[in-house]
């Protein structure tokens, strides 16, 4: 399971998991990103 903790000023932390959508900057409003997508990009394949 992939989890991302989101910390915003003066708010309780949010936990996003797997297919949960992550917050995106306003200029990227049409873009969607999940926790699983982000961790998938970080997975380095070795030859």
Nearest to 4 by CA among 29, 27, 19, 44: 19
pLDDT (tens digit, 9 = 90+) per residue, 21-41? Answer: 999 888 988 889 898 888 888
pLDDT at 2 over 80: no
Percent of the chain scoring above 70 in pLDDT: 91
| Tally of structural domains, the chain | 1
pLDDT at 47 over 70: no
Cβ contact 32:20 at 8 Å: no
In a domain, 28, yes or no: yes
Tell me the torsion sign for CA atoms 43, 24, 34, 8. positive
Tokens of 43: 């997975």
Domain that holds residue 9: 3-42
CA–CA gap between residue 27 and residue 5 (Å, rounded): 22
CB-based contacts of 5: which residues, under 8 Å, 6+ apart? 13, 14, 15, 16
In a domain, 47, yes or no: no
pLDDT at 44 over 70: no
In a domain, 7, yes or no: yes
Write down the pLDDT at residue 42: 83
pLDDT (tens digit, 9 = 90+) per residue, 3-23? Answer: 899 999 999 999 999 999 999
């Amino acid at each position: 399971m992939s989890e991302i903790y989101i910390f915003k000023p003066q708010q309780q932390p949010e936990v996003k998991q797997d297919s949960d959508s992550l917050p995106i900057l306003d200029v990227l409003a049409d873009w969607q990103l999940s926790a699983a997508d982000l961790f998938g990009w970080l997975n380095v394949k070795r030859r």
